[in-house]
Amino acid sequence: MDELRILDTSCIRMEGSYKDLSKSLKFLRWWQCTLKSLPIIDFDVMNIVVIDLTESIIEEFLGPSVTNTWFFCLLHSQEKNYSQTFSQLKVLILKNCKNLKSTLDLG
């Protein structure tokens, strides 16, 4: 999966290590993600341009700055805590995120 650029894992429960996902990944759609947090250590999110976590139950989105992301969607998600910098962000969708405690740093 070295050249994988688009990954749609919507409504799929994935387990194990994510370290083999492509460093070229640009588009991540993971609707109804069942993880409590994205595995930032195994998961290289630095180059992803589009992140769509609609209806996810993620409680934390922590880790390094996501410098290339310009679209971030958390529609109807359960996220609570964030510690991120999105310096290139152009579109942010937070509709119906009832548990949101902190906002994202837009750099």
Neighbours of 57 (CB within 10 A): 14
d(CA 104, CA 32): 21
pLDDT digits (tens, 9 = 90+) for 30-87: 888 887 777 655 566 677 889 898 988 877 765 556 678 889 888 888 766 666 667 7
Is the pLDDT at 3 greater than 70? The verdict is yes
DSSP string computed for 13-67: ---S--TTS-TT--EEE-TT---SB--TTTS--TT-SEEE-TT----EEESS--T
Is the pLDDT at 11 greater than 60? The verdict is yes
What dihedral angle (degrees, nearest 10) is formed by the CA atoms of 84, 32, 79, 4? -10
The pTM of this model reads 0.77
